[in-house]
Amino acid sequence: MKTKGKRGVLFAVLFGLLAVAFSPAMAQSPYPDRPIDLVIGYQPGGAMDFIQAVYKDRVTKILGQPIASLFKPGAGGAIGAAYVAKSKPDGYTLYFGSNATMVFIPLTKKDIGYVPEDLTPICNLTLSPNLLCVKDDSPYKTLKDFIEAAKTKKMKYATYGVNSGPHILMEALGRLAGFKGTHIPYPGAGPAYVACLGGHVDMAVSTGTGGMVGPGRLRILAVTGEQRYDLQPEIPTLKEIGYNIVVPVMFYLWAPKDTPGENIQKIADAYKKATEEGREEIRKTWPAWSIPSISWKRRT
């Protein structure tokens, strides 16, 4: 009787364990079942802040869960990327960054806390030019004016980080045009533009200006794309001016490596649907080049 009793208890325990092991669908809720943190490697007020704001409500509605913006600025986006690279690979912590984070920074800096392989691409949201801006009341009315002045005195220019795309393009421009500027890095595009508005630097170089262009604010001297900027099509490209420099900025969503492929696919599909449903409104809000023909990098 005692042996039978022990066997009965043993069978009950085994049955319970098997029931748990073979019923994952009952124990696990479908992704996503809680808010998603979207880590942005720059300060609020810059291009990435504006782009994520354009998408946030639409994607939240599609996924049924809120997207929470988490700003971790510094090191040209590397601090935010490193944070996400070390996060749990479950699809609840994503990184919104530029090609600089995955190309320029890893190639030019050591001990940044991650390598590109630590992050899995989800999708490309948009492609934008870099803008070379001065104060509206600046004596430099054209890029030629700025360059001629820079040959005789040390000009200060602001970007959103050391070895960022804007920093590298200004170094290239200086070599081609024959001047050497003083680079002043800031933790984001917003602070860089504010520094220019305040007269702390002679030029700010970054992406979308967040409404800071216009009378009494900033003036764009040139853009760095293959084609002119939709927002101000009268502004020439560097190539048109005579400098063969093309440094666009591509904005991507990334997840930690080993994030389940089905979760990555859901995020990519949600952003694609948001783009398709709100294409015209998105384009009016963020007139960047690639929104009408947005491309998607999906994990297979």
The pTM for the full model equals 0.74
- Per-residue H/E/C for 255-292: EECCCCHHHHHHHHHHHHHHHHHCHHHHHHHCCCCCHH
pLDDT over 50 at 25, yes or no = no
Question: Which are the contacts of 199, defined by CB distance < 8 A and separation ≥ 6?
Answer: 135
Domain boundaries, the chain: 36-128+250-293, 131-241
Q: Are 187 and 43 in contact (CB under 8 A)?
A: yes
Instruction: Tell me the pLDDT tens digit for each residue of 40-69.
Output: 988 887 777 878 888 899 999 999 999 999
Is it the case that residue 18 has pLDDT exceeding 90? no
Which pLDDT does position 84 carry in this prediction? 97
Q: Is 36-128+250-293's fold the same as 131-241's?
A: yes
Q: Is it the case that residue 5 has pLDDT exceeding 90?
A: no
pLDDT reading at 221 higher than 50:
yes
Whether domain 36-128+250-293 has CATH 3.40.30.10: the reply is: no
| CATH number of the structural domain 131-241 | 3.40.190.10
